[in-house]
């Protein structure tokens, strides 16, 4: 089976570190909302500083349960692709820096599958044009948008994606490969 997994919120605990630095920079968080309820300009400003500082990116904790399941899938010869929209909102220089950080982070935390990493803004569209039928995502809005007959999108339960969704899972173990 060919599977695509989102990076932030599925493999990587982006929110904990983002929230820590956002608070240091004086922002107020709303954990029940995606992007912690920050307007786009504020979100981008905090995110840019995190990427520039570099160290916070590597402080982001891998979700070990995700890692373990992906490892098992890899051992069972499933084809795993990592998809992320990281860097899409930055200028070229910062985007390249963040892409490099992301590759390194995955290599350290999620080897050996890191070479199947794709930086895409429209993950659902990318999956469909690359023959992928299962996507695991943590953003409810995107999961709903991309769910179709040809693409089964699982929503991994997180505090920022509460609400109705037909394929909500609490662990990657629930994915029917
Ligand atoms: Mg995500």
Q: 172 C-alpha to center of ligand 1: Å?
A: 14
Q: 85 C-alpha to center of ligand 1: Å?
A: 8
pTM of the model: 0.93
- As a three-state string, the secondary structure of the chain is CEEEEECECCCEEHHHHHHHHHHHCCCCCCCCCHHHHCCHHHHHHHHHHHHHHCHHHHHCEECHHHHHHHHHHHHCCCEEEEEECCCCCCCHHHHHHHHHHHHHHHHHHHCCCCCCEEECCCHHHHHHHCCCCEEEECCHHHHHHHCCCCCEEEEECCHHHCCCCCCEECCHHHCCC
pLDDT of 17-71, one tens digit each? Answer: 999 999 999 988 887 777 788 888 999 999 999 999 999 999 999 999 999 999 9
Domain spans in the chain, listed from the N-terminal domain onward: 2-13+61-174
Q: 93 C-alpha to center of ligand 1: Å?
A: 22
Q: 40 C-alpha to center of ligand 1: Å?
A: 16
pLDDT of 107-153, one tens digit each? Answer: 999 876 567 999 999 999 999 999 999 999 999 999 999 999 999 99
The architecture (CATH level 2) of 2-13+61-174 comes to 3-Layer(aba) Sandwich (3.40)
């Amino acid at each position: 089976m060919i599977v695509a997994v989102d990076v932030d919120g599925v493999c990587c605990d982006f929110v904990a570190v983002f929230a820590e630095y956002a608070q240091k920079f004086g922002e107020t968080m709303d954990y029940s909302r995606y992007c912690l309820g920050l307007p786009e300009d504020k979100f981008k400003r905090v995110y840019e500083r995190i990427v520039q500082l570099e160290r916070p990116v590597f402080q982001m904790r891998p979700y070990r349960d995700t890692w373990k399941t992906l490892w098992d899938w890899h051992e069972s010869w499933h084809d795993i692709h990592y998809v992320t929209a990281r860097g899409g909102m930055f200028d070229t220089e910062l985007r390249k820096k963040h892409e490099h950080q992301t590759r390194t982070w995955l290599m350290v935390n999620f080897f050996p599958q890191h070479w199947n990493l794709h930086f895409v803004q429209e993950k659902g569209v990318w999956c469909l044009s690359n023959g992928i039928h299962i996507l695991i995502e943590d953003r409810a809005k995107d999961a709903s948008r991309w769910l179709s007959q040809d693409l089964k999108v699982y929503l991994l339960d997180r505090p920022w994606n509460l609400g109705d969704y037909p394929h909500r899972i609490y662990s990657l173990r629930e994915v029917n490969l």
